[in-house]
Structure 1
Amino acid sequence: MIRIISMIVVIAWMIITELRVVYLFGRIEEVRDMLGLDSNVEAKKKIKTVELSPEHRRELTEKLIELIGEEEKEK
């Protein structure tokens, strides 16, 4: 059970620190203009896209495999 919790913590930490969120790259105004919205708040609500780089996906997958392997050894 501790391994599962630690795995979730590792995943959450990696996602929080490594994700590229569209609105951080100054695209809020573009989305607002394209959709004809009145405010940046509305544009932020429309932006739900989060991208993960291939390198980060690979790293995350390796960590998961490692944690699952450790849990299997404990059983």
Structure 2
Amino acid sequence: PDQKLKGFISKALSDRKQRKFVESVDLQIGLKEYDPNKDKRFVGSVRLPHIPRPRLKFCFIADAAHIDKCKALNYNYIDA
């Protein structure tokens, strides 16, 4: 199933007009025999072949309990 999904995605990406900017792709999947009223949550992940934003910057608003974690991981933070 994973290879089939990747095949569909690459076909959709190859059948498009080239743009002069970075585009995003929205993917909507319908699940058979899935009742959203009964089963509210499910977890899954897909590893993308390319990093979507290689220069993404972020900053944590940290309290005293999380400042040490931010320092240890070399993350930007501000004291809350």
Greater per-residue helix proportion: 1
With CA pairs under 8 Å and 6+ residues apart, which has the higher RCO, 1 or 2? 1
Query: TM-score, normalising length from structure 2?
Result: 0.27
